[in-house]
Amino acid sequence: MSTGAPVRRDGDAGSRPADPGAPPVQVRGLVKRYGELTAVDGVDLTVHAGDVYGYLGPNGAGKTTSLRMMLGLIRPTAGEVRLFGRDPTASVAALDGVAGFVEAPTFYPYLSARRNLELLAAFDGDGASARIDTALDTVELGGRARDRVGGYSHGMRQRLGIAAALLRAPRLLILDEPATGLDPAGMRDMRRLIRRLADEGMTVLLSSHLLAEVEELCNRVAIVRRGRLVYEGEIAQLKRSAGTTYRLRTTDDERALAVCRAQRGLSGVRVERGHICFAADEQAAAELSQALVESGALIVALAPETVTLEDLFFSLTEEDAAAAGSAATLPEPDARVVAAEGTS
Amino acid sequence: MNPGVATVYRWELFKLRYQKRTYLGLGAAALVPILFVVALHFRHPHRGGDFAFSSYLTRSGLAVPLVILLFGAVWMFPLITALVAGDIFASEDHNGTLKTVLTRSLERHQIFAGKMLAAATYAVTAIALNVSVAVVAGCLQSGFNSLQSLSGTIVSAPRSLELVYVSALVYLIPIATIVAIGLLLSAVTRNSAAAVVGTLMVSLLFQLIGILPGMGAVQPYLLSTQFNAWQGLLRTPIDWAPIVRALWVCAMYGIPALLAAFLVFLRRDVAGG
């Protein structure tokens, strides 16, 4: 059952015709509370047409809850979701041109893959049944279509989930952890499939723990921590704004770590494989050198490294970085970094 | 063709064909009359029961379905009905498929209506199967003979057969209420076993209240009492009062249960699976 305060609903926002100019996904002030727990806390994000958009966050950050609200499966406590300008909690008409799955895709285990797709195509109408063979071929399940889904491996179910989504000929594909549980070959195939669909013009919103995969596939990301948005924008911009990651070794790493944590302009300070790692710009690194010398921790090595999305993800989502308000990650136009206290 | 309630209904019936519980319930509905007749065949000829039509069991096969309707009300028919009604939403939760079907092009109220109709269809099928098997098995054992009505008049065999099926139709009134209770528990508990057992418990609770001393005043308004409404058809002239009462008493229990199930399903968050 829905919990929390009732949401004021825009009467016909779900069933009115899609606005061709509206972005595929627009989320404003989205909140979901379960009693005392706030699973999603004021999330704002926009997915533009043609984006491959990554939705990132640690376990329990509220990603899946947000996606469920986007698909109309759960009602927001506050805020609104619009898919092509329509409200998915008001009517399934808002899901026209939208498909996907949250958590693992699920099917009737006692029916074959083909029967499952026939059922879903019947529920879709609009000629979806004519797309069953193509969808099965796209995910390379044509040869196993008559097998009961109960006997399918996790990877096959993930692929069948994509096939079920393709029946709707979507313009927007929403995928929750599509590569979770797949072996390396399965992950590679899933990545290629998503890339291909995006190249064909589909807008993709995907949540993932696999940061290298997101970095390879996505052009824009939203990063959430404990239900709150800490960044939304282009990955390239995030990397530019984050400065450089440095690796540091000193004669007294314990003292150096304390100095780094206290030093202004450093973020994501952590110990990794015997090195102190942090993100900083050149000026902050130079100031750190001086501070280390003054503290008596002499520098053995201080080397810049290429920053990865993973570094940035940890710097934005880990506890100590959040306490520092992610201050080192500077916002630039069209990208939003949100301090732990509030939203933009 | 645009999908609608008929689409859901058709696919729900299709899915029932692939589920063991379907055959468990229908199998029981078909088997019980056969076992009853076998027991009848081997019982002592002078040992009779003290219930409606018991004395006619050996004289007319048409008494068999009526006796089974009488005793099936205690737990057999409520259980068979609950097997599907109690499972129809809960199994979607168990399989995690609710989120799959709710993100297609059908509104929740259409899915609810299709499932409700499928659960009702199953109950009707089980009763029809039970009565038909009982008629055939009973007639093979005791012959296609006339019955004595509850008023003592003799009713011809063809007219008795007609009354057996009309009785079954009247029997569907409380069964529809059991369907509604099953749907409610299925939507609320999201657990198939809890919903099936819960539905049966509700039915047994009514039976229990009915046999408690000092409860005579409420007896006519209990759900369990309505399972006997069909007996009004077997009086001369037909006594419509219990049938009319069954209609409104069952509506009194069934409509709120159905409405509650509908609202729960319509408004619930699909957060699991």
Residue A101's identity, in one-letter code, is F
Give the nearest partner residue to A125 out of B105, B264, B267, using CB atoms. Answer: B105
Q: How far is B265 from chain A (nearest CA, A)?
A: 9
**pLDDT value of position A12:** 52
| Orientation of helix B20-42 relative to helix B76-85, angle to 10° | 170
Residue B196 host element (H or E): helix B192-211
Residue owning tokens 């960044």 = A231
> Which of A31, A115, A119, A124 best probes binding to B when mutated, by most B CB atoms within 10 angstroms?
A119
Q: How far is B105 from chain A (nearest CA, A)?
A: 5
Test B11 with A71 for CB contact under 8 angstroms. no
Rounded Cα distance, A328 and A234, in Å: 17
Rounded Cα distance, B151 and B165, in Å: 19
> Which of B100, B112, B115 best probes binding to A when mutated, by most A CB atoms within 10 angstroms?
B100
Nearest to A201, CA basis, from A173, A224, A174, A177: A173
**pLDDT value of position A319:** 54
A323 part of contact set with chain B, CB < 8 Å: no
**pLDDT value of position A88:** 93
A14 part of contact set with chain B, CB < 8 Å: no
A184 part of contact set with chain B, CB < 8 Å: no
Closest chain B residue by Cα to residue A89: B267
Interface residues from chain B to A (CB-CB < 8 Å): 1-3, 7-8, 10-11, 14-15, 18-19, 95-97, 99-107, 264, 267-271, 273
Residue ranges per structural domain of chain B: 5-267
Q: How far is A3 from chain B (nearest CA, A)?
A: 9
Residue extent(s) of CATH 3.40.50.300 domains in chain A:
1-97+170-232+336-344
Integer angstrom CA distances of residue A344 from A38, A45, A229, A265: 19, 11, 9, 21
Rounded Cα distance, A231 and A99, in Å: 25
Rounded Cα distance, A322 and A228, in Å: 11
Rounded Cα distance, B234 and B149, in Å: 5
The CATH fold of domain A1-97+170-232+336-344: Rossmann fold (3.40.50)
List chain A residues with pLDDT less than 70.
1-18, 242-243, 319-344
Show the tokens assigned to B244.
């009319």
Question: Which residues of chain B are within 8 Å of residue A72 when distances are taken between CB atoms?
Answer: 102-103
CA B150 to chain CA centroid, nearest Å: 23
**Long-range contact pairs involving A108-111 (C-beta distance under 8 Å, separation at least 24):** A108/A149, A108/B15, A108/B18, A108/B95, A108/B97, A109/A148, A109/A149, A109/A150, A109/B95, A110/A148, A110/A150, A110/B15, A110/B18, A110/B19, A111/A148, A111/A149, A111/B15, A111/B18
**pLDDT value of position A157:** 92
Give the nearest partner residue to A122 out of B11, B19, B268, using CB atoms. Answer: B11
Nearest to A55, CA basis, from A232, A282, A188, A179: A232
**pLDDT value of position A238:** 77
Show the tokens assigned to A103.
């958590």
Test A102 with B97 for CB contact under 8 angstroms. no
Would you write out chain B's pLDDT as a tens digit for each of its 273 residues? Answer: 688 999 999 999 999 999 999 999 999 999 999 999 998 888 766 555 666 667 777 889 999 999 999 999 888 999 999 999 999 999 999 999 999 999 999 999 999 999 999 999 999 999 999 999 999 999 999 999 999 888 889 999 999 999 999 999 999 999 999 999 999 999 999 999 999 999 999 999 999 998 888 888 899 999 999 999 999 999 989 999 999 999 999 999 999 999 999 999 999 998 865
Chains A, B: CB pairs < 8 Å: 100
**pLDDT value of position A322:** 46
**pLDDT value of position B234:** 92
Rounded Cα distance, B150 and B88, in Å: 39
**pLDDT value of position A343:** 34
Is A55 in a helix, a strand, or coil?
Answer: strand
Tell me if A53 sits within 8 A of A218, measured CB to CB. Answer: yes
Rounded Cα distance, B262 and B116, in Å: 10
Closest chain B residue by Cα to residue A118: B11
**pLDDT value of position B152:** 87
A107 part of contact set with chain B, CB < 8 Å: yes
Test B103 with A101 for CB contact under 8 angstroms. yes
Residue B90's identity, in one-letter code, is A
Residue extent(s) of CATH 3.30.70.980 domains in chain A:
237-335
**pLDDT value of position B125:** 97
Q: What's the ipTM? A: 0.90
Tell me if B178 sits within 8 A of B73, measured CB to CB. Answer: no
Q: Of the CATH numbers 3.90.1150.10, 3.30.70.980, 3.40.50.740, 2.60.40.10, which one belongs to the domain with range A237-335?
A: 3.30.70.980
Residue A303's identity, in one-letter code, is A
